[in-house]
Every structure is written in C-alpha cells, then in structure tokens.
Amino acid sequence: MLVGVTDDHNLLLLDATTLELRRTIVGYNDEITDMRYVVRQGGGSGGRGGGEMQLAVGTNSEQVRLFDLADMGCRLLLGHADIVLALDASAGGGLIASASKDATVRLWDPATAECVGRCVGHMDAVGAVGFGGKTGGRLAAGAADGAPLPATLLSASKDKTLKKWDLSPLLAGGGGGKTKKKGATAASGEEAPTLSCLATVLAHSKEVNALAVAPNDRLAITGSQDRSLKVWTLAADGSAAIRPEPAATLTGHRRAVWTAAFAPLDRVAASGSADMLVKVWSMADWACLRTFEGHVSSVLKVRFLRGGALLASSGSDGLVKVWSIKGQECVATLDAHEDKVWAIDAYEPPSRGATGGGEGGGEGGGE
C-alpha cells in the first residue's frame, strides 16, 4: 500500500501500482508535513501496539498524530515546541523519530506514545531524519521492549550539518552511552534521556532538506538547497564508522533538492527537486541513470515501490506519479489534490498506498 500526505490536510491510501483509491481519511485542521508507516513486528503487551500497522503523521504543529489503521483511533505524541518537519520509523516498528523546527529530534515508543529519547545539538530547524535498516540489539523502551533497535540514526538541519546519534542507552539491559535526563515524556511525565551525538559533519553550503540511509547502513545520502546531493560512507568492511565520510557529490539538478530515497535492493538512489525533475542515481559509479519529467512544479517526495522496480513521486503540483525504472516511463498518475502533496510512503509488499496533503484530509481504503 502507498500512503501519501498532501498540503490539503488529506490522507490517501492507494494501490501502489495502479494508484487506485482505497480509503480517504479526512478531518485535519493542520497542514500535513510528513508521514510514515509504522509496522510493529510483535511488540509488547502495553498500549495499543501489539503488532498492529500504524501511521505516524506530522502536521504544521508541534504534534505527531499516530493512527491505528485497524480502527482509525488516533493518539497525539506531544513534546515538541514547534512544527514537526520530518518523520521516520525504524525497521520492526519499535521507534518513531520526529524532527522539528525546534532544532531537536524526539524518539517515541509507538505502543505507549511516550517519548523515550531526545537528540539535542542542532542550531536550527531539523528538516530530515533517518534510521538505518540494520539492527543493533533489542529495545528496552516500555511496551516496545524486545523490538529491534536500529543501529543508525542520522539527522540533517537548516544549520547545514549532518549528525549521527548514539542509540545505545535504549538497549535492553542498558547501553554504554551517557544520557542526560532532560525533557519529559508527554504520556507519563517521566524524564526521557538526551542521547549523545557521535559525530557532526558540515554537509552542504546551504540548508539540508533531504536525508536517507541505505538499507544496509553502509551509505547515506543528503540533498540541499545548494542543488547538490552528497553520498556519505557510514560503514566499511563490516564495521560501523563513527563519523560519516564523504563518498561522492551528485550534481545535475538545477534547483534545490527536496527529497532522496534508496532502493530497497539495488544499489541505486532517487532524488526530487524544485527543478520538477526526478533522477535515479547509481551508487556504484555515481552516474545519473534516469531522469523523469512530468511534474509541472517542485518534486517534494520520492519512494521506491515493488522492490525498486517502480518509483513514486509527489509534488507541489498536487500530482502523485508512479514511474517504471526499467521502462523509463510514467505508468500511473493520480491528480486528487488541489495543493502540494508533501509526503508519500509505502509498506512492502505494497498492496495499498496513501497520500496526504495540505487541504487537511485524507483518502484511502481497505484491502
């Protein structure tokens, strides 16, 4: 299923190949900024998690909304002091990361809606956040106890930097990292640890808008207002590097880069830009493999589908498009919004999808 968020405050659940509308979720009062599927594998006994599929939605407010897709119940994740700009969910669904204009990243237990960690250190708004696909043990975070703990968490900011964070304090049995007890969880009032920053790099000459971590945690990619993408080495020879090291600079976009994503299987990445183009890049020789034209305004989000055979894109023109990588053509277009489509996400195997936008509602349907 493909899930998308538009600037019209709507959520759409769509068939990921045909873009057939399955369900509409409406009723928002805030502009939707980002969204992620949260698929909890197993999970603990508390809260309303229990292995259910959830949808985390960031809005033009300090709140994150967490929907249970079984009954569409909604909980609020409270704690940020300003607009939530970006979200990610860890493999296994044990953690949600939210990045905010308040210059922080917060980590949440989706089963209890509690904040379990804070990342403090950026000097300006944090516009992108990303978990790696590998795990580094098991979580000890309330009802998420036993869920896989991601090995990598990165964030990128308007302050032009890329930061890597220490997640070891969240390990079951205790971690080796230092924690500072600051900030309170919204649900319980208990203090959440402030996680240590392992490394900071000056990533771009202008603010960083986009960030993605490869499924194998070896590479990360960032996109910026400076019109470039940069690829970073995170690990080599099977051992994790502490500091992200620059591997390549990808040029070709003529305006700011708003989004980037890795394919789940192949060594390729995709990007979308204010120049209205979607590009696909080789992570072997850094060449541009494909350029897709069809949007009539900025491309705001890209996501790979069907194991990387298809690529979905959304834009400020209100369009959602699906592209065939091999066929080098657009195979489906959805024109269901009057305003920007800020976010799309997909769950593999994608039998349905969703979009959301700036009018404040959503569309979607059952299987």
**Residue 80: inside a domain, yes or no?**
no
**Residue 366: inside a domain, yes or no?**
no
**Residue 173: inside a domain, yes or no?**
yes
Q: What is the C-alpha separation between 273 and 81, in angstroms, rounded?
A: 29
Angle at the Cα of 304 (from 295 to 218), degrees rounded to 5? 125
**Residue 26: inside a domain, yes or no?**
no
**Residue 168: inside a domain, yes or no?**
yes
Token pair of 299 as six digits: 């491309």
Answer yes or no: are the C-beta atoms of 169 and 107 closer than 8 Å. Answer: no
- Looking at residue 348, its pLDDT comes to 66
**Nearest Cα to 312, choosing from 352, 345, 339, 335?**
345
Q: What is the C-alpha separation between 238 and 234, in angstroms, rounded?
A: 10
- Looking at residue 23, its pLDDT comes to 77
Q: In what order do the strands lie in the sheet with 239-250?
A: 208-213, 219-224, 229-236, 239-250
Please tell me the total count of domains within the chain: 1
- Looking at residue 71, its pLDDT comes to 81
Q: In what order do the strands lie in the sheet with 96-100?
A: 84-89, 96-100, 104-109, 114-120, 191-195, 180-184
The one-letter amino acid at 48: R
Phi and psi, residue 71, nearest 5°: -125, 0
Token pair of 154 as six digits: 């990165």
**Residue 327: inside a domain, yes or no?**
yes
Phi and psi, residue 144, nearest 5°: -85, 5
**Residue 11: inside a domain, yes or no?**
no
| Cβ count within 10 A of residue 179 | 18
CATH of the domain at 174: 2.130.10.10
Strand-strand pairing, 135-138 and 126-131: unpaired
**Residue 10: inside a domain, yes or no?**
no
- Looking at residue 360, its pLDDT comes to 45
Non-local (6+) Cβ contacts of 327 within 8 A are: none
- Looking at residue 281, its pLDDT comes to 98
Contacts 24+ apart (CB under 8 A), 41-46: 41/92, 41/93, 41/147, 41/148, 42/146, 42/147, 43/93, 43/94, 43/111, 43/143, 43/144, 43/147, 44/111, 44/142, 44/143, 44/144, 44/145, 44/146, 44/147, 45/143, 46/111, 46/112, 46/142, 46/143
User: How far is residue 307 from each of residues 130, 139, 282, 324, measured CA to CA in Å?
Assistant: 19, 27, 16, 12
Q: What is the C-alpha separation between 182 and 270, in angstroms, rounded?
A: 37
Per-residue pLDDT of the chain (367 residues; tens, 9 = 90+): 787 665 556 677 888 778 787 877 765 557 788 999 998 775 443 344 445 789 999 988 899 999 888 887 889 999 999 999 999 999 889 999 999 999 999 999 998 999 999 999 999 999 999 999 888 778 875 555 578 888 899 999 999 999 999 998 888 665 444 444 444 444 444 568 899 999 999 999 999 999 999 998 999 999 999 999 999 999 765 456 689 999 999 999 999 999 999 998 879 999 999 999 999 999 999 999 999 999 999 999 999 998 899 999 999 998 999 999 999 999 999 886 667 888 888 876 544 455 555 544 444 333 3
- Looking at residue 138, its pLDDT comes to 81
Q: What is the C-alpha separation between 30 and 12, in angstroms, rounded?
A: 16
- Looking at residue 181, its pLDDT comes to 45
| Cβ count within 10 A of residue 196 | 17
CB contact burial 79-95 (16+ within 10 A = b; e otherwise): bbeebbbbbbbbbbbbb
Whole domain around residue 162: which residue ranges?
39-55+91-300+312-337
Whose structure tokens read 């309330």? Answer: 142
